[in-house]
Structure 1
Amino acid sequence: MSESTTAPDAMNGAAAAPTLPPLYGQLEGLTAERHSALRLRDAGYGFAAAASAVPLAAEEFAIAARSLAIVFAAQAPHMPVALTGLAAGTNLFVDSGGAWKIGAYVPAYLRRYPFFLLRVAEGSEELALCIDPGAPQVSDSAGEPLFTADGKPAPQLERAFAFTKSVEEAMLRTRTMTQRLAELGLLKSSVVQFEQHGHPVRIDGFFAVDRPALAALPPEQLAELRDRGWLEVIYAHLLSIGGIPDLARGIGG
């Protein structure tokens, strides 16, 4: 008996407007006129309980790889995701109370929610901070206010904008990296196979850095990866794949 599972891909359709990014129900540009009464509260990670894969920036790989399996989406531009479950709609890192697994890394994509940055117009460099008004973190009665009494951004909102901007910039740098890895022929369809309860299990449907292709790179291209800080990222990704069997076992511990 052989069980075959396709790894979830959180990036399907995420990049093409007007499709919303994963986990977001809607997005509204934040304004004091419209959102002066909004507050932000800690609501845990129950909103991500059905997210079996979460977008991840390259800068997170080194620490994320200690607790999360990291793969690349099969669809171009092959953006990386952290696998949180092998069954669609299942996140093994979120418990029934919405708490994240103790000791496991929480991707910045989740910590950034319910905020998101969008360009004010096509081709514009100006970014507008948006919010998902239906997010459980958003309230009109509990939590820290987003705006002051005179309509200015409150410290909470200023911090949210700074963090959201840093996540957006990290994702753009990650996109540059994945495009280069693809150009070098390093990202290829991959399979993980192992035994569970005496039966073979096969996990596919994702891309990974191909070790033979990496080893065959000319010295100047290998030096490029080293100088751009991407070798550490690649090795963290390759080591993290060893955690996929743990996902099949339901993590444990």
Structure 2
Amino acid sequence: MSDSPADLAVANGAAEGAPQLPPLYRSLEGLTADRHAALRLRDAGYGFASGASAVPLAAEEFTIAARSLPIVFAAQAPHMPVVLTGLAAGTNLFVDGGGAWKIGAYVPAYLRRYPFFLLRTAPDSEELALCIDPAAPQVSETAGEPLFTPEGKPAPQLERAFAFTRAVEEAMLRTRTMTQHLAELGLLKSSVVQFEQHGKPLRIDGFFAVDRPSLAALPPEQLAELRDRGWLEVIYAHLLSIGGIPELARDIRG
């Protein structure tokens, strides 16, 4: 993998035709100085995620995210983890009307990486292209820090964005490896959380979680492997975080 956004710049349209856009992205274009020389990056808050009731999360974020956000696994394979930010579709209880994130709550790296993304230049290629969502509210031609210098070189802002975007992508790949291993061990199973809300029973389902009895039944050598790979701590953070789901129900806006 290249160490500079300049090395990753691709021809116009290289990112087009992707089979499916990642969550929250409306479009993706490979960044080039010729096409995007005028673009700047500004702080526009998190209003773009106001309709996201679940946000992808990397395993390395579990221990800190678990303090403020419930972490579950998607019901569909490969069962990638997400944090729940609302219990109703299209609702994010962690973003206020002005686009500010809830004070004290963890902001997933997936959101902090936006509007950038890495895509392969071809299905069978290892070369990655740094892409941007040009429709993102963070993107402007009049406000914020420039992405390119007047000479067409990557500006410091773009260098930082590339480094962080690459780190997030690598963390997600490691997370996928962990999730696949947990599934192979039979630890990820359909789960349900039930509790009372305003004196009435409430049932939250449609997600996967690590099954405690299956975890407890693992042979010592498999438990040791999870421990040695740092995944046992991740599992416990996930299990503890699920206790925050009832709080999401209490926070549902009128």
Please report the TM-score for the alignment, with normalisation by the length of structure 2.
0.92
Q: Map 1:8-157 onto structure 2 (within 5 A).
A: 17-157=18-158
Could you tell me how far apart the structure 2 residues matched to 1:150 and 1:193 are? 59
Query: 1:211-250 deviations in whole A, cap 9, x for unaligned?
Result: 0000000001000000000000000000000000000111
Query: 1:121-168 deviations in whole A, cap 9, x for unaligned?
Result: 112111100000000000000000000000000000000000000000
Runs of 4+ aligned structure 1 residues displaced above 2 Å come to: none
- Indicate the SS of the match to 2:190: strand
Matched AA of 2:86: G
Instruction: Measure how far apart 1:30 and its partner are.
Output: 0.2
Q: Which runs of 5+ in 1 are unaligned?
A: 1-16
Aligned residue for 1:226?
227
Q: Which runs of 5+ in 2 are unaligned?
A: 1-17
Aligned residue for 2:12?
none
Aligned residue for 1:174?
175
Could you tell me how far apart the structure 1 residues matched to 2:72 and 2:46 are? 22
Matched AA of 1:191: V
Matched AA of 1:108: A
Identity among equivalent positions (%) equals 88
- Indicate the SS of the match to 1:25: coil
Could you tell me how far apart the structure 2 residues matched to 1:81 and 1:123 are? 28
Aligned residue for 2:186?
185
Aligned residue for 1:206?
207
- Indicate the SS of the match to 1:207: strand
Could you tell me how far apart the structure 1 residues matched to 2:152 and 2:212 are? 54
- Indicate the SS of the match to 1:202: strand
Could you tell me how far apart the structure 2 residues matched to 1:128 and 1:250 are? 40
Could you tell me how far apart the structure 2 residues matched to 1:251 and 1:186 are? 31
Matched AA of 1:235: Y
Instruction: Measure how far apart 1:19 and its partner are.
Output: 1.2
- Alpha carbon RMSD of aligned pairs, Å? 0.9
Please report the TM-score for the alignment, with normalisation by the length of structure 1.
0.92
Aligned residue pairs total 236
Instruction: Measure how far apart 1:18 and its partner are.
Output: 1.2
Instruction: Measure how far apart 1:114 and its partner are.
Output: 0.1
Could you tell me how far apart the structure 2 residues matched to 1:163 and 1:84 are? 23
Query: 1:91-130 deviations in whole A, cap 9, x for unaligned?
Result: 0000000000000000000000000000111121111000
